[in-house]
Amino acid sequence: MYGYAMNLGGTAKVFVPCDGGFFCTIQQIEGSLTMLDLKLIRQEPDFIKEKLATRNVDPADIDALLALDAKRRELIVKSETMKAQRNTVSDEISQLKRNKEDADDKIKEMRQVSADIKALDAELDTLKDQVHDAAAHLPNIPNDNVPVGLDEDGSVELRQWGEKPNLDFEPKAHWEIGEDLGILDFERGAKVSGSRYLYYMGLGARLERAVYNFFLDQNTEAGFTEVLPPYIVNDDSMYGTGQFPKFKEDVYQLRDEDMTLIPTAEVPLVNYYRNEVIPEEKLPVWFTALTPAFRSEAGSAGRDTRGLIRLHQFNKVEMVKFCKPENSWDELEALTKHAEMLLQKLGLAYHVITLTTSDMSFTAAMTHDLEVWFPNQNTYREISSCSNTTDFQARRAHIQYRDDKGKLQYVHALNGSGLAVGRAVAAILENYQNADGSVTVPDVLVPYMGGVTRITK
């Protein structure tokens, strides 16, 4: 649909001598260092600078990375050449000793060479960390069809669905409705845990449960495999999906441990296949999971301080897909359409927008946001982000498949909310409110509510 493809794979054909006299590539020596393909950055630096500049990346950052990479590659060649020389001279020393000849000079020479190699390898380890850190802070390359913008302004509306409710009274905010009905208790949530926490009470808790069970049932009926994943993950997992190292301030970490409370089920779902090769016949793989999400919201001071929109702990039903690269854009459209279907069955008006280059997530090559209508605020609010990360997360997490020619390729990974549960509850409370303060339960949720059709005091 989008006609956008880049070959981010391949091996750098730079051969250097290795121990034992064999030759190997720098790529093999380096291992997997990159998130974006370093080969592409080396070959097309101006292209990378141009694309990432739309994501607020300073071109000087690319130059700095390339300088570190060039120095490291130079030292790799030097180190491996010296190791090959040491192997050759070691053989000569052995031959001299067998012939009862003097080998002292060569032994002395090799001691110095070994010391030089040790120093070079230590410098290489430092450079490896520096290259890795520089590359780890670069976001994904945006798709050519993503609107360019250095902030959220400029997002493109793709479509609208549904009729906004025509209320003949002044609509209340969802937190007012919930507090008046006694189903949301923000005051005691703040007392027990702090601001942006709450208790769901009675039919409020039942409504939350009804919403996420409905989402899970719809997802599994559509072919997603339901997963109940860990809620605490290690640093490698957070790195694999792109939260680390750049966004550590946005999460909650366990003190003195390499463990983090998940900010989204995307983390454990994507990392399910970390460091694995998915059999080609299994692709595409679709996962869905209900989990809590824990976020510090460090960068959102003063925003949405009331209600269910921006909490430190909330429930979310997540969808994750793994597929072959040639199918990922179709999978993104299917993922977005599925999230739309959930809103349509709930009877909630929404629109779909494509985010700008700088507004979409760090890992995304393209993101479609679903925004649902909120009558009290007279605006749309985000309830789902559906993103294609192309091979960006797969490179970080080393998730591959073997193609029909037997060659290892990176999968493409996609994710989307299906949906953010608390925001769905908030939208239901506002869109289905009645003049007497009660809330009508959407028809599709009545069976999940035990037949309750209206929430009243």
Is 155 annotated to bind ligand? no
Position 211, amino acid:
V
Is 265 annotated to bind ligand? yes
Is 264 annotated to bind ligand? yes
* Residue of 72, 358, 423, 430 marked catalytic: 423
Q: What sign does the dihedral 324-357-50-129 (CA atoms) show? A: negative
Is 415 annotated to bind ligand? yes
* Residue of 42, 86, 209, 310 marked catalytic: 310
Residue 438 is among the residues annotated as catalytic for this protein: no
Residue 385 is among the residues annotated as catalytic for this protein: yes
Is 11 annotated to bind ligand? no
Residue 312's nearest CA partner among 323, 321, 324, 300 is 300
Is 297 annotated to bind ligand? yes
Q: Are 9 and 337 in contact (CB under 8 A)?
A: no
Is 54 annotated to bind ligand? no
Is 289 annotated to bind ligand? no
Residue 310 is among the residues annotated as catalytic for this protein: yes
Is 177 annotated to bind ligand? no
Q: In what order do the strands lie in the sheet with 379-388?
A: 156-161, 350-354, 366-374, 379-388, 412-420, 313-323, 285-294, 225-226
Q: Are 183 and 201 in contact (CB under 8 A)?
A: yes
- The encoded tokens of residue 339 equal 């999230």
Distance between start and end Cα atoms, the chain: 50
- The encoded tokens of residue 181 equal 């009905």
Number of neighbouring beta carbons within 10 Å of residue 60: 9
C-alpha distance from residue 117 to each of 70, 80, 171, 212, 318 (Å) = 19, 9, 73, 59, 49
* Residue of 385, 387, 395, 430 marked catalytic: 385
Is 195 annotated to bind ligand? no
* Residue of 73, 295, 395, 396 marked catalytic: 295
* Residue of 90, 382, 438, 454 marked catalytic: 382
Position 351, amino acid:
H
Q: What is the dihedral of CA 300, 303, 306, 312, to 10 degrees?
A: -10
Residue 423 is among the residues annotated as catalytic for this protein: yes
Residue 357's nearest CA partner among 139, 160, 192 is 139
Is 396 annotated to bind ligand? no
Any idea which residues carry the catalytic annotation? 295, 310, 382, 385, 423
Enumerate the known binding-site residues: 264-266, 295-297, 318, 382-385, 415, 417
Enumerate the known binding-site residues for ATP: 295-297, 382-385
Enumerate the known binding-site residues for L-serine: 264-266, 295, 318, 415, 417
